Every structure is written in C-alpha cells, then in structure tokens.
Structure 1
Amino acid sequence: MLEIQELSKSYGKHLAVDRVSFFVPDGQVGILLGPNGAGKSTIIKSIAGLLRYQGRIGIQGMSARTLEARKIFGYVPEIPAMFDALTVREHVEYIRKAYDSDITEEEVQALFQRFELADKQEKLGNELSKGMMQKVSICCALAIKPKVILLDEPMVGLDPQAIKELKKIVLELKEQGVTVLISTHMLEMVEELWDVMFVMDQSHIIGSYRKEDVGEKDLDDLFFEMTGGEKR
C-alpha cells in the first residue's frame, strides 16, 4: 500500500503542495491527475525520494525514507536516464544486485522478450532511443519485484506493442497484490486499469473517485467535471 499523509512542499515562498493526503491499497491502481502547476510533479518526486518534504509517505506501512521501504519500491520516471557505458543487460544486472533481488535469469529474459529487448541486450545506454530507454527503465523497476510501483507518464514514447504489454503487466501486478500509482495525462490509456483516481489543482487534492462508484462514466468527464475545464 501507498499512504500519503499531510504532505507539504515549498519552493521558497511558493507552496507547491499543501497538506495532501491520499491512499492506494494493495492490489489497486491509483491514477494521479492534474493540470500543469497543480503540484503533481512535486508529489511524484517526493514519493520517489528526490525531494525533501514535510508530512509522511508510507510504503507497506513503513516510512518511505527507510531502506526497507526503498527495497520494495519501484519507480519509472517520465524521462528515463541511462548510464552511457552500461549495456541494456548491465542496467538490469546493476539494479538486481543493488536491490538484492531474487529475480531469476528466466524472469529477466522473459521481461526482455515482452519488451522486444532480447536482441538489444548488448546495446549501450547512449545508443538507445527514448522508447528503448523507457522499456529498459520499466524492466529495471520490475526487476526488483516491487510491492509498490510508481509510473510517471509511462506510456509516452512507447510503441503500440509496448503499451499493450505494459497494460498487461499492470493487470498482472494487480493480481499479485502490488500497489500501482500512475501519473498520466493519457487518460484513454488507463481507462481499463484504474481503481482510484486523485485529481489535483492548485497544490491540493480537490477530489477523488473510486471506479466502483462511478460505473461507466468517462475518465475525461470526471477530470474536467472536477477541475472546471472543458473536454476537448
């Protein structure tokens, strides 16, 4: 589970996030939405451990600041960053050793097959396209076998086959009881995946929905209804 309690973050005099709280239970997919400047990126970076903040972030009941919590937390950033001199295979091996993951060789190869990386394992980080870097970043996050995973705009830059595969993986993670948080503007891409949705505006969570409570209502309609914008 992922629990955010009274999270606040300021940049100088600017309050980017103001006492935000939300919760995503085990085996559910949460969607974090918000217009530019709402504070969404600050929340993402705080959860990922990239910013100092006030409040509490809990991962499986542990403080997100602890090593134990970090070992079971996976993160796919919006802009992937590779080591120039490491191969695709070495990136995954580096993560496996850093997290002391028990992922098997067969499971690593299965990930490469699913994301069409099996024949690209010896390519260096500086030889990869953005889409390929995104695939490697996803494989690295999955290689630690996380209990909680944060995906920031994960489908941007992916080809249709990779998007299809990633959706399958998200559903598989749900079945395994993994907590998933996806930050995205591509609402149509998560229509069949989400369980809870959190809408941000002007540094606050201004509303949340549970899929079971809204029936067949369109995600776009829910978002623009809450933010007061117009559906395009």
Structure 2
Amino acid sequence: MNHKNDFPIFKHNPSLVYLDSAATTQKPQCVIDTVSQFYEKNYANVHRGIYDLSERATESYEHVREKVRDFIGAAHAHEIIFTKGTTESINLVAHSFGLSHIKSGDEIILSTMEHHSNIVPWQQIGEQTGAILKIIPLLENGELDLAAYQNLLTRKTKLVSIVHVSNVLGIINPIRKIIALAHAKNIPVLLDGAQAISHFPVHVQELDCDFYVFSAHKLYGPTGVGVL
C-alpha cells in the first residue's frame, strides 16, 4: 500500500520528498475533505445556538472530544480541553495552575532538551512570581541525567514540565520513572507530547501524568488545533 497516495501534495509535487514531519505533517485527503465539507455543509457556532445546524455542529465537536478521550486513554471527556496547539496548552497551564500555585522562591523543573514552547511560559511565570527554573542536564549520550533530576526535586519544587520525546534527538524519555519520582514528593508533572503522540500509543491514565499536551498539526490534522 502506497500511503503517499493519500496525500494530495505528493500528487501535485511528484518529486517531493518531505522529511520535516517533526515540525508539521502534510494533510491526507480525508482531513482536507472533512474540513472542507464542514465549511461547505455544516458550519455554525458550537454551543451557541438551538437551531439544527448549530446543534449538529456542537454534536460533532463533542464527539471529537470523546474520540480524543479514547485516543489518549483519559478517564472522562470533560478532561479534554481544546486549544490552538501545544504552545497555547502549556501557556494555559502556566497562567492558570502556575499563577495560582507557584510563589516566590518556588522551583520549576525543566530539561535541557525542551522546545522553547516549554521554556518561555515558565520563564514568564518565574518573572511574575519570583520562582526559579531548575534544568535537568543531559548525559553524553543525549539522555536525561536522572541522578541529577532526583537531586533537583525538593520541597520547593512545584512542577516538573518535560518533553515526552525530544524534537531534536528523538529520544524517548523514561516518563514513568520521571513521574513516579515527582509524585513521590507530591509534585505534579506536565508532559509535552507533541512529538510522541504520532509515533506510539499514549495512555495518560497509565502514565499517571497531571497534564498532557499536543497539537493536531503534527498528527496529520488541521493547523490551529491542540489538546490539553
């Protein structure tokens, strides 16, 4: 089976070899058709009208929430929050949970391999609250230094925010151990799953993370859609 046939961009560009899916994925015809058909036949505001078109749009919208719940193994559909992407999801956590739970002198743990989307929001929270960022270093092989990570976990640590899979090295971090070590000290964990979600099954209940974020555009979906 030639999956390239599912993507119209390759039909229009036969010589194209696209190797930048870690940044964003091309869109299959089924996604393009679904978006187009919604705008052509079913478009209306969701949760804003009691007429048929709006109610059908709302039903479709909430059905997607249920599909995402099943896709990532969440316990309830109401746990799924739609955003504009991973960046907005992290910012939402930073400016809701972060500003309400992080105070001056508290510590936030990140790692050296984080994308800027998982650095800048916490720098801003640090500037606003007086919290301190602590960074997990890498070993020579590019993996996280877990011994150093354990030493960074203190009573002042209020959050660990870390990437599930590195967007640069492709390293799959030992998330279960990272979460277990944090939870042993009652520290919540946010996982940036932007690079993980398209490569292997993710079950958030089994991972036991407190927040999981990702974008649709890296998952063959539309731009401007994310999940928290």
TM range (shorter): 0.3 to 0.5
More strand by share: 1
* Bigger Rg, which one: 2
More helix by share: 2
Task: Answer 1 or 2: higher relative contact order, Cα 8 Å, separation at least 6.
Answer: 1
What's the TM-score once normalised by structure 1's chain length?
A: 0.34
